[in-house]
């Protein structure tokens, strides 16, 4: 997809969509809580619980992202090692000539 002078990747579009979805869900939940006929004490308790749940969810997503990045780095390192091993004989042959 081309937007202006920048090219948007599918991964970037999905990440943006998920971000907007989470923001929308959070805003909707906040409006629902504020408009619900509850006493102030109960509303504050619900808001604290919602905030804690959101923080926990974000923490879980962060940990999952870190794990995925570490896995990708490990795979990249393994691929680089394999290529280096396969290219070593060619390098030695070129140095001899």
Interval 42-71 mean pLDDT: 89
Any idea how long the chain is? 97
Domain ranges (residues) in the chain: 1-36, 39-97
CB 82 within 8 A of CB 61: no
pTM as predicted: 0.48
pLDDT digits (tens, 9 = 90+) for 11-56: 567 778 888 888 888 888 888 777 777 787 887 888 889 889 989 9
Distances (CA, A) of 97 to 67, 72, 94: 45, 37, 5
């Amino acid at each position: 997809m081309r937007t202006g002078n920048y090219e948007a990747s599918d991964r970037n579009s999905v990440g943006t969509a998920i971000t907007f979805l989470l923001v929308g869900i959070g805003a909707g939940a906040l409006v629902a809580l504020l408009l619900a006929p509850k006493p102030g004490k109960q509303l504050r308790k619900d808001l604290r619980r919602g905030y804690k749940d959101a923080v926990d969810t974000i923490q879980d997503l962060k940990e999952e992202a870190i794990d995925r990045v570490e896995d990708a780095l490990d795979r990249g390192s393994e691929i680089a090692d394999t290529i280096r091993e396969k290219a070593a004989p060619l390098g030695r042959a070129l140095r001899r000539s």
